[in-house]
Amino acid sequence: MFDLRSTITSICERWKYKMEEVSPGIFRVDVAIKMKDESWRYQYVYVWIIPGRHMGKDVVYFNSRCGEYNPNINHYKLLKEGGFGTYAQVTVTTDKRKDGSPCETIIVQAVQPIELTNETILDAVLYDVAYNADIIEEVYFGGDNN
């Protein structure tokens, strides 16, 4: 049986990422991304299991918020950004602002079927989601907002 908590904990210990269980079974990982200039940026990635999502089978789901959708975003360029993900994809999801009001949010997400994964793959998926979300957040939303 797959144990998400121990797998994510192991990845976080290896890379010294901070991790918090924000609600039962939902983990927020603060992924550290080393930049070319040797500085560090950080991106939150949320990770949990969604039962039955992939042809009736369970998946590990990852997502990271980039910023609130608005019609002035260059959609063509944003779609092109999706091509840089190995495991990750860019999408829009229904969300809530900090004050609880509804909005649409640009996120980077990945869906990894549990039966086709292991810790090494999840480590790569986690970083891929964080890295791509961080770039989109910087380019389209002016910096570290999430």
Residues 94-127: pLDDT tens digits?
999 999 999 999 999 999 999 999 999 999 999 9
**Mind listing the pLDDT tens digit for each residue in 61-77?**
999 999 999 999 998 98
Q: Which amino acid is at 34?
A: K
In a domain, 56, yes or no: yes
In a domain, 112, yes or no: yes
User: How far apart (Å, rounded) are the C-alpha atoms in residues 121 and 117?
Assistant: 6
In a domain, 116, yes or no: yes
Domain boundaries, position 81? 4-141
In a domain, 104, yes or no: yes
* CB neighbour list of residue 104: distance below 8 Å, 6 or more residues apart: 68, 69, 92, 93, 94, 95
Q: Which amino acid is at 127?
A: Y
Domain with residue 128: its CATH number is 3.30.1460.10
In a domain, 32, yes or no: yes
Overall number of domains in the chain: 1
- pTM of the predicted structure, to 2 decimals: 0.93
At 40 the pLDDT is: 92
In a domain, 125, yes or no: yes
Q: Which amino acid is at 77?
A: K
In a domain, 67, yes or no: yes
In a domain, 146, yes or no: no
